[in-house]
Structure 1
Amino acid sequence: MSVRRNKLNSFSREEFESFKNMELLDASDNNFICSCEFLAFIQHEAGIARVLVGWPDEYRCDSPLVVRGVQVGAVHLSLMECHQSLVVSLICVLVVLVILVLVAVGYKYHAVWYLRMTWAWLQAKRKPKRAPAKDICYDAFVSYSENDSGWVEDIMVRELEQACPPFRLCLHKRDFVPGKWIVDNIIDSIEKSHKTLFVLSEHFVQSEWCKYELDFSH
């Protein structure tokens, strides 16, 4: 069979099997569309080279443009070109998985909390060094570890608040505003106090909250 120099642009396995008694096929000098399906068939079909007359020199691609004029047997399209929808789907799945992993890691390590804390710290850095005297409510904000609360609250605070004249102390258990974010409470309490009193101990050094209070006071 000869369909040379015709308008044939491709043929499939099904079309080829329709002519089971055909011994030779001259389909040279046609404008072949080198699609993934056509290339997969013509390059991997066993015995196709023995049937096609003039193979491979006279079988060239007309499209796509990047392979125009190239022998059909020498064209190799990329995975992205042949399975574009599959590749896009895999990329979307990977992006979703990465986002889920980042959200899970951020949740586990309290990333949102640290970002809010950093933002609050930056805002505190931009504030004036001293609050107006009329906004001062306490003589000192007391920063201490919860593990030292027995000594601080039962002895130190009692002695200072019952002194003559008494000291006005700000304690997180007693004076923080309920429902307000703890970092905002810390910053407001420091700003409303003349001084910040740190109860230094091994527990203080090991406490993340005490470190934050130390940084905010600086």
Structure 2
Amino acid sequence: MPLPPYIKRKPDKRDRSWYQTVYAAKEGSIAAPTAGLHFTEKLLKELGSMGVIIKKLTLHVGIGTFMPVKNPHIGNHRMEPEEFEVEPGLIDLIKKRRKAGGRIFAVGTTTTRTIESLMNGHYKDCRLKNAKPGPESGSGQALTGTGVQGSEKIRGTTDLFIYPGHRFRGVDCLITNFHLPKSTPLMLASAFADREKILTAYRKAIASGYRFFSYGDAMLIL
């Protein structure tokens, strides 16, 4: 893993453990979800003791996340499909918590994309037998079929590209790092908070010496 330019040393053994979230469990991603690097075991326990319900999901980050958007019409950009896995009941829990007045905090753009894909039906369900195309949402398709048990984990792929104009259905607050220009994570953050507000925040971050890239700082968007 290349280190950010503000770290004046060569990569070593420390980076093998530091460049990984404390809750990582499965291999598959080409990069760590950097917003999660800010969480320690101690912090997660403290949040739990405060009554925060913490749920985990898996999305295997692919190269498509890091491909810059080159098309002048961003709606024509296409994301490469990425695999995800979610515990059964997560979406029902999100709906119940929001209906009761609770707020859903997503740690990172990958988590946000997974939740929004499920809430919008914008994914391919890899569990289904005799699957056939279902209702479309954006550029992808949900699938309908038979053979899925209610207790099974939801396993699928998503190519959902979130950019300004997207209607968020499952995420109320976002913790995310500072991203590179023309990147899909930056466009997701702009969709969530408003492009001009994000640009203002980035200008202040640069002026204040905040860090970008792999070991960068994060912000909370409420």
**TM-score scaled to structure 2, two decimals?**
0.24
Comparing both structures, which one devotes a greater share of its residues to strand?
2
Comparing both structures, which one devotes a greater share of its residues to helix?
1
**TM-score scaled to structure 1, two decimals?**
0.24
Larger Rg, first or second structure (1 or 2): 1
- Tell me: higher relative CO, structure 1 or 2? Use CA pairs within 8 A at least 6 residues apart: 2
